[in-house]
């Protein structure tokens, strides 16, 4: 009986990891370029395109302001069209990605806009094309902020993935509801909660470490740098 539960927990964990990492990757693929474009298409910026910027802003805001659980239900036809079913971990990736992408876009937009405008001016003066400047200047300079933002979204996706459990999405959330809630298995609920906390903790620490590693704005501590 207990090995059975153990196996279920393990499978649910892997399902959760699968959902979150796939959704996170897809959301990043959409969100990062979208965020860069949102930041650079504003009036007077490198890729200025006011109308398109306004349109995308509207879409991002609309997606961002829809409660996630509503989004999941509303997207059922889309999910069916893409995956073939609206039940299970793979199906859950669709709403998770669509909820994550605008979130990532906003975070990336913020990080890019934080980059000192003097760097853009200097790059233009050096004869850089807008795309070169995005690739070689804006993205590398915004990387610490982007890394922290992607971490934030990964954590949010872990929480969301537990929520899709409520509508048959599989994973730890699903397990928690079926056993912990519907069958009054407090022990299963406790294990699920502890695993989720540990997961968030690990992602958070890894993200912070990466952000620190790519941040060259802070002088390395003299002990670690090894070059006095």
Partner 1 sequence: MSAPTFPEASRRAARGARPAQMIRIEGVSRVYPATKKSAAVAALKDVDIAIGAGEIYGLIGRSGAGKSTLLRAINGLERPTAGRISVDGAGISALDGEQLRAARRKIGMIFQHFNLLSSRTTFDNVALPLEFAGLDRKAIGMRVGTLLELVGISDKRHRYPVELSGGEKQRVGIARALATEPKVLLSDEATSALDPDTTRAILALLADINRTLGVTIVLITHEMAVVKEICHRVGVMEAGQVIEEGDVYDVVSRPRTDIARSFLSALSGRELPRWLAEKLHPDRERALKAVLRLRFTGEKATEPAIARLAQKFGADVAILQAQVDEIGGRPFGSIVVAAPADEEFDAAAHAFLADYDVAVERIGYVD
Q: Does 136 engage in binding with partner 1 (CB under 8 A)?
A: yes
Pairwise CA distance, residues 110 & 37, whole Å: 11
Q: Which is nearer to partner 1, 119 or 208 (CB)?
A: 119
- Could you say whether residue 126 binds partner 1 (CB under 8 A)? yes
Could you tell me the smallest distance in angstroms from the CB atom of residue 38 to partner 1? Answer: 21
> Smallest distance from the beta carbon of 227 to partner 1, in angstroms?
8
DSSP the chain: -HHHHHHHHHHHHHHHHHHHHHHHHHHHHHHHHHHHHHHHSSTTSTT--HHHHHHHHHHHHHHHHS-HHHHHHHTHHHHHHHHS-SSSHHHHHHHHHHHHHHHHHHHHHHHHHHS-HHHHHHHHHTT--HHHHIIIIIHHHHHHHHHHHHHHHHHHHHHHHHHHGGGT--HHHHHIIIIIITS--HHHHHHHHHHHHHHHHHHHHHHHHHHHHH--SSPPPHHHH---
119 binds partner 1 (CB under 8 A): yes
Distance CA 195, CA 222 (A): 37
Asked whether 22 and 98 are in contact (CB, 8 A), the reply is no
Q: Name the segment binding partner 1 (CB under 8 A); options: 62-70, 89-97, 127-135, 170-178.
A: 127-135
Instruction: Report in angstroms how near the CB of residue 30 gets to partner 1 at its nearest.
Output: 24
**Residue 132 CB, nearest distance to partner 1 (Å)?**
5
Extract the tokens encoding 64.
């961002």
Determine, following the binding rule CB under 8 A, whether residue 84 of this chain makes contact with partner 1: no
- The single residue listed with the structure tokens 């407090």 is 186
Q: Is 216 in the site for partner 1 (CB under 8 A)?
A: yes
Q: In the bound complex, what is the minimum distance in angstroms from residue 145's beta carbon to partner 1?
A: 12
Number of residues binding to partner 1, judged by CB under 8 A: 24
Lay out the site mask for partner 1 across 167-206 (x = CB under 8 A, - = otherwise).
Answer: ----------------------------------------
114 touches partner 1 by CB under 8 A: no
In the bound state with partner 1, the residue whose beta carbon lies nearer, of 4 and 116, is 116
Q: Which stretch binds partner 1 (CB under 8 A): 15-23, 28-36, 81-89, 115-123?
A: 115-123
Q: How far apart are CA 106 and CA 133, in angstroms?
A: 20
CA distance 38 to 57: 7
Q: Does 48 bind partner 1 (CB under 8 A)?
A: no
Does 137 bind partner 1 (CB under 8 A)? Our answer is yes
Summarize as ranges the residues that interact with partner 1 (CB under 8 A).
116, 118-119, 121-129, 132, 136-137, 140-141, 143, 214, 216-220
């Amino acid at each position: 009986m207990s090995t059975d539960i153990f196996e279920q927990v393990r499978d649910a964990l892997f399902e959760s990891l699968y959902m979150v990492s796939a959704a996170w990757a897809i959301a990043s693929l959409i969100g990062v370029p979208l965020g860069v474009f949102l930041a650079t298409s504003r009036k007077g910026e490198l890729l200025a395109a006011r109308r398109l910027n306004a349109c995308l802003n509207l879409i991002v805001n609309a997606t961002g302001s829809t409660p996630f659980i509503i989004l999941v239900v509303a997207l059922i036809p889309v999910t069916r069209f893409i995956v073939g079913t609206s039940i299970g971990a793979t199906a859950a990736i669709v709403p998770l990605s669509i909820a994550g992408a605008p979130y990532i876009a906003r975070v990336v937009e913020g990080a890019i806009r934080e980059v000192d405008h003097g760097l853009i001016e200097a790059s233009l003066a050096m004869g850089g094309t807008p795309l070169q400047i995005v690739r070689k200047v804006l993205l590398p300079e915004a990387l610490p902020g982007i890394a922290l933002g992607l971490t934030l979204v990964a954590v949010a996706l872990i929480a969301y993935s537990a929520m899709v459990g409520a509508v048959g999405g599989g994973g730890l959330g699903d397990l928690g509801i079926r056993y912990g809630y519907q069958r009054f298995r407090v022990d299963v609920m406790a294990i699920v909660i502890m695993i989720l906390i540990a997961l968030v903790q690990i992602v958070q620490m890894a993200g912070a470490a990466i952000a620190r590693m790519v941040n060259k704005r802070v002088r390395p501590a003299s002990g670690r740098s090894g070059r006095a």
